[in-house]
Amino acid sequence: MKCRVCKGPAVVDVRRHNAAFCRDHFLHHCEEQARRAIDSHDMFTAGERVLVAVSGGKDSLALWEILVRLGYDADGLYLGLGIGNYSDESGKYARAYAGRLGRHLVEVDLTAEYGYGIPEAAEATHRSPCGSCGLSKRHLFNAAAIEYGYDVVATGHNLDDEAAVLLGNVLRWDAGYLGRQYPVLPATPGFARKVKPLVRLGERETAAYCVLRGIDYQVEECPMAAGNRHLGYKETLNALEDRSPGTKAAFLFGFLERGHERFAVDAEVERDELAECSVCGSPTPGGVCAFCRLRAKVGAIELGPGGAPTSEPVAFVAKPRHESR
Amino acid sequence: MKCRVCKGPAVVDVRRHNAAFCRDHFLHHCEEQARRAIDSHDMFTAGERVLVAVSGGKDSLALWEILVRLGYDADGLYLGLGIGNYSDESGKYARAYAGRLGRHLVEVDLTAEYGYGIPEAAEATHRSPCGSCGLSKRHLFNAAAIEYGYDVVATGHNLDDEAAVLLGNVLRWDAGYLGRQYPVLPATPGFARKVKPLVRLGERETAAYCVLRGIDYQVEECPMAAGNRHLGYKETLNALEDRSPGTKAAFLFGFLERGHERFAVDAEVERDELAECSVCGSPTPGGVCAFCRLRAKVGAIELGPGGAPTSEPVAFVAKPRHESR
């Protein structure tokens, strides 16, 4: 196996590109794929402030590293989810990496600042923990970006993630979700811009990137996610990819080129109908937003009749307790 | 397990409907699903002549039975594909059933009338036999309907078939194919109307229908189809359905309700660009149609320079040699 670029010994192969790379050219390949995604989708420019949602896993740490290497002004945001040891360990990886990179890490702790962790949310809602986790993250990533004046929130969603989400959306033909699934979502009132610079890299590539750059990351999968639907869709796509390399990329990029635009209007209609949450003020289809309803369910806040808050509205986002450099 | 309708002992369960049925109510369920598909999509009316594409398998024989029971004027069309014993056996099932039903069976033999069978086509094209088979069927079903004055061609594609085709189309986001995937395709110049009345029934249901009606059908799968992509997509969807019953139906009907229309314009553009095949006169994107090109590849006809026929154009469709009642 020889490097496609220099013909030296290769250390990683990328089947869907029918290519292999030596260490240096693989690292360049990954950074180049991120650069292409950022430029082709006008995700952000050199002067803008980027907040990277950092879980401590391979994707988010690779993203942070790549953005800093590409010369962007990128800080991190770590959200403590209250998932026992898993969260404790994840936080350590995020903090250690922030120190190594010499960049700010904003920290928000769900339990200390919002009165619940993901296990409590799952118990209170009698539903998959992943649902509560996703909505908490979306709310707090956005709130932190607005609160601290970042231009854009960047997440480490890779090709495998996005293809699996797309499969779920397309199996239900959820027009609103299909209309919102895009590597860049522009800022709208109450929402910061959101971008996914790693959509052109598979998760095998982000893992290899971290290993070859010597980045220590949380290798464990979240214990609460085991057996969830998203992982099932990933397995499904992996089986299709094994039979026919390139299937995932053709699926995702075919959608971005020939599918997405046809659903964009559905997302616009939904966005136009948003109003302010009567508790926290963030945009919501009506009444109390999903985040505040979740907080009420776990007993962290009380809602009056008709969803009105029983006390003064809480701050849009609580001040983070910890900041490390 | 009790029948949903009469509470008597059930013989078949249909997981996606969370229902079970006794023999009589299951047969009624199947016929009712076909009736709903026919009516809701305006497939055909009582006075029209329907040509059922009959392979000798469970789906096509169930379809023919149901259409006759629902009072439609439905004849059969059997296409001999030249696949050795498999074709010989399939033809026997089709003829025996035509006799039992007391309806016409139009027969077309690919080898005798068009100079090749599917094995020869696969060898000559160095491609999957299923590609040659599909294009031969599409061409000859359509040609026979036009030649013999049928208003519509009905095929036995069931929910499993259509969902698997949809998965393939969506994995490539093939806009033209997505625009043409619908239970009814109206007649256009050179094309008969095409309908799929069994889209609301899974293949487990059509098999049970045949068993309970005492219809003998070809149980073997086509030996040339083993391991093809379509069967792979069926397996993929079966695995998703096992985890979450109703996934296939939600996928297909969600597309028909919220997806298809967004791609219809792509199919219209492709249709508007069709011209007459310079050999046989059937509609084609340009020059010689895929069917005549296939015949040339297997050596059944000769094409001159630039695809012009070297002799007088052959008849649009050869006269069938056999008709049985």
pLDDT tens digit sequence for B53-93? 999 999 999 999 999 999 999 999 999 999 999 999 999 99
Amino acid at A122: A
Yes or no, beta carbons of A236 and B236 under 8 Å apart: yes
Q: Residue A276 is inside which H or E element, if any?
A: strand A275-276
Which strands sit side by side in the sheet containing A193-195, from one edge to the other?
A: A184-185, A193-195, A152-154, A49-53, A73-80, A105-109, A322-324
Q: Which one of A229, A234, A262, A269 makes the best mutation probe of the B interface by having the most chain B beta carbons within 10 Å? A: A262
Q: Residue A13 is inside which H or E element, if any?
A: strand A12-14
Q: Tell me what pLDDT residue A129 has.
A: 94
CA–CA separation, A247 vs B27, rounded Å? 40
CA–CA separation, B95 vs B100, rounded Å? 9
Q: What is the mean pLDDT of residues B228-232?
A: 91
Q: How many CB atoms are closer than 10 A to CB B257?
A: 11
Size of interface A-B (CB pairs under 8 A): 52
Q: Which of residues 52-91 of A touch B (CB under 8 A)?
A: none
Q: Residue A108 is inside which H or E element, if any?
A: strand A105-109
Residue of B nearest to A175 (CA): B258
Q: Tell me what pLDDT residue A219 has.
A: 95
B255 vs A316, more confident: B255
How many residues does this entry show for chain B?
325
pLDDT (tens digit, 9 = 90+) per residue, A211-238?
A: 999 999 999 999 999 888 999 999 999 9
Amino acid at A141: F
Q: Tell me what pLDDT residue B286 has.
A: 84
> Out of A172, A173, A258, whose CB is closest to B173?
A258
Q: What is the mean pLDDT of residues A121-132?
A: 94
Amino acid at A81: L
Q: What is the mean pLDDT of residues B131-157?
A: 97
- The two tokens of residue A15 are 């089947």
Q: Which residue in A6, A37, A35, A34 sits closest to A19, CA to CA?
A: A6
Percent of chain A topping pLDDT 90: 89
With beta carbons less than 8 A apart as the criterion, state whether A259 and A206 touch: no
Q: Give the confidence band of B227 by pLDDT, cuts at 50, 70, 90.
A: confident
- The two tokens of residue A107 are 């920290």
Look over chain B and give the mean of its residue pLDDT values, rounded to a whole number.
93
Q: Which of residues 173-202 of B touch A (CB under 8 A)?
A: 173-175
Model ipTM?
0.90
CA–CA separation, A261 vs A271, rounded Å? 16
Q: Tell me what pLDDT residue B2 has.
A: 96
Q: Residue A36 is inside which H or E element, if any?
A: helix A23-40
pLDDT (tens digit, 9 = 90+) per residue, B282-322?
A: 999 989 999 999 999 999 999 877 666 655 444 434 344 44
Which residues in chain B have Cβ-Cβ distances shorter than 8 Å to A171?
Answer: 240, 247, 250-251, 254
Yes or no, beta carbons of B250 and A172 under 8 Å apart: yes
Which own/partner contact pairs does B304-313 have at CB distance under 8 Å and 24+ positions apart? Answer: B307/B278, B307/B279, B308/B278, B309/B278, B309/B279, B313/B278, B313/B279, B313/B280, B313/B281
Residues in Cβ contact with A27 at an 8 Å cutoff, skipping those fewer than 6 apart: A209, A212, A213
CA–CA separation, B323 vs B217, rounded Å? 20
Q: What is the mean pLDDT of residues B37-41?
A: 97
Burial A151-164 (b: 16+ CB within 10 A, else e): bbbbbbbbbbbbbb
B223 touches chain A (CB under 8 A): no
B322 vs B210, more confident: B210
Closest chain A C-alpha to B287 CA, distance in angstroms: 28
- The two tokens of residue A271 are 């966005």
Yes or no, beta carbons of B251 and A171 under 8 Å apart: yes
For chain B, give percent helix, strand, coil, nearest 5.
50, 15, 35
Q: Tell me what pLDDT residue B308 has.
A: 62
CA–CA separation, A197 vs A179, rounded Å? 18
B305 vs B7, more confident: B7
Q: Tell me what pLDDT residue B305 has.
A: 72
Which residues in chain A have Cβ-Cβ distances shorter than 8 Å to B257?
Answer: 173
Q: How many CB atoms are closer than 10 A to CB B299?
A: 11
Q: Tell me what pLDDT residue A325 has.
A: 39
CA–CA separation, B300 vs B294, rounded Å? 9
Q: Which one of B167, B170, B228, B233 makes the best mutation probe of the A interface by having the most chain A beta carbons within 10 Å? A: B170
Closest chain B C-alpha to A236 CA, distance in angstroms: 7
Closest chain A C-alpha to B164 CA, distance in angstroms: 12
Closest chain B C-alpha to A265 CA, distance in angstroms: 11
Q: Tell me what pLDDT residue B304 has.
A: 77
Yes or no, beta carbons of A173 and B255 under 8 Å apart: yes
B217 touches chain A (CB under 8 A): no
A269 touches chain B (CB under 8 A): no
Q: What is the mean pLDDT of residues A162-187?
A: 97
Q: Tell me what pLDDT residue A320 has.
A: 41
Phi and psi at B60, nearest 5°, equal -70, -35
Percent of chain B topping pLDDT 70: 94
Phi and psi at B42, nearest 5°, equal 45, 55
Q: Where are the beta strands (DSSP E) in chain B?
A: 12-14, 19-21, 49-53, 73-80, 105-109, 152-154, 184-185, 193-195, 275-276, 283-284, 322-324
Amino acid at A87: S
- The two tokens of residue A202 are 């598979």
pLDDT beyond 60 at A192: yes
Yes or no, beta carbons of B232 and A240 under 8 Å apart: yes
With beta carbons less than 8 A apart as the criterion, state whether A36 and A30 touch: no
> Out of A173, A232, A258, whose CB is closest to B259?
A173
In chain A, the largest separation of any two C-alpha atoms, in whole Å, equals 70
Yes or no, beta carbons of B171 and A251 under 8 Å apart: yes
Q: Tell me what pLDDT residue A323 has.
A: 44
CA–CA separation, B117 vs B120, rounded Å? 5
pLDDT (tens digit, 9 = 90+) per residue, A265-279?
A: 999 898 899 999 999
Amino acid at B154: A
pLDDT beyond 80 at A6: yes
Query: Beta strand A19-21 with A12-14: parallel, antiparallel or unpaired?
Result: antiparallel
A171 touches chain B (CB under 8 A): yes
Q: What is the mean pLDDT of residues A114-132?
A: 94
Q: Tell me what pLDDT residue A314 has.
A: 45
Determine the 3-state secondary structure of A250 from DSSP: helix
Rg, chain A, Cα only: 20
| Angle subtended by helix axes B159-172 and B203-213, to nearest 10 | 160
